[in-house]
Structure 1
Amino acid sequence: MKKIDKLIYNSASLIVIILIAFIVQSCNQAPKVEDKEIIVEQVKPEYFLLRPETEKAYGYSHAVKIGNDIKISGAVSMDDAGNPTAVGDFEQQMKNCYSDLEKILTHYGCTFDDVVVENIFTTNMPLFLELAAYRSTIYTKQFPTGSWLGVKELA
């Protein structure tokens, strides 16, 4: 083989090796994502105060609706001034809580049939379990998912 032919042959081999390396390296790169404009519709939260003075004093909203979701804070047996009611009567406290929850659901055009999650925190789990059947008068079609948690104290 002539010297020039050898040089061309070796150069061609080197170019092929470089091209193969480039192709292999290109396969490891993430595909290019084209920049697309994404339009997100801003959903404004709708706040609901069941007991405005009490809720403002403690810094919370009893419920907030965002889109089709409604987030409801904990229900406590209290009067409009924020004073505890039915002290010592667990069953009545439970009824008072569900009554408040119903007011919130009604405000948003919903019923207990629309509730999908219910988390219950109680300081007396054994007594709650005795009275839990009351919930079947609230949830007449189906029960929501949720958790029942016994805690030391509630605010």
Structure 2
Amino acid sequence: MTAESQLALVLLSAAFLSGCADTAPANQAVEAEVPEYFLLRPETERAFGYSHAVKIGDDIKISGAVSMDDAGTPTAVGDLEQQMKNAYADLDKVLQHYGYTFDDVVAENIFTTDMARFLEVSSYRNSIYTKQFPTGSWLEVKGLALPGLMIEIELEAHRSK
């Protein structure tokens, strides 16, 4: 065999082996990460055009929770502390739906129309986050989706395998 033939054989073998390295064995199934959507208040969420949460793999993204009833009407109007507690109660329901807890939350963003008042009552979060606090942002905004809403809280959660 000539040196050129040997080189061609080595290059051909290397190309074949590198192509095989990226594929799963025929008997090993490859799991697709299919989004799993969740509607907390189906009629309201469909009317407004959003899903309350989606889980992909081990990650959950939860839309902003607010203080509202099943018809989409704001509750506890004028009481930011109660609105905050109501929002966290809804977030807990979503987390529980997926078998997660607040210990799995890695990011939290809070939007409020009254940052001064939120800072006065934010210690409530200490009863929710008992292991560690998530990353996140606290933002004061001029208004939220509906008149009467004073706080909106969105979360991201992750659980390692």
TM bucket by the smaller chain?
Answer: 0.7 to 0.9
* Residue identity matched to 1:36: G
Report what 1:36 is aligned to: 19
Following superposition of structure 1 onto structure 2, how do residues 1-150 of structure 1 map, counting pairs within 5 Å? 36=19, 41-150=31-140
Q: Distance between the aligned counterparts of 1:117 and 1:82, measured in 2?
A: 25
TM-score by length of 2: 0.72
Higher RCO, Cα 8 Å, sep 6+: 2
Secondary structure in structure 1 of the residue aligned to 2:32:
coil
* Residue identity matched to 2:139: L
Structure in which a larger fraction of residues adopt helix: 1
Secondary structure in structure 2 of the residue aligned to 1:56:
helix
Question: In the TM superposition, what is the alpha-carbon distance from 1:45 to its structure 2 partner?
Answer: 0.3
* Residue identity matched to 2:19: K
TM-score by length of 1: 0.74
Rg larger in 1 or in 2? 1
* Residue identity matched to 1:97: A
Question: In the TM superposition, what is the alpha-carbon distance from 1:41 to its structure 2 partner?
Answer: 4.4
Structure in which a larger fraction of residues adopt strand: 2
Question: In the TM superposition, what is the alpha-carbon distance from 1:46 to its structure 2 partner?
Answer: 0.3
Q: Distance between the aligned counterparts of 1:118 and 1:74, measured in 2?
A: 10
% identity of equivalent residues: 75
Question: In the TM superposition, what is the alpha-carbon distance from 1:130 to its structure 2 partner?
Answer: 0.7
Secondary structure in structure 2 of the residue aligned to 1:131:
helix
Structure 1's 152 and 36: CA in aligned 2 closer, same or farther, altered over 3 A? farther
Structure 1 runs of 4+ with >3 Å offset:
34-41
Q: Distance between the aligned counterparts of 1:97 and 1:116, measured in 2?
A: 17
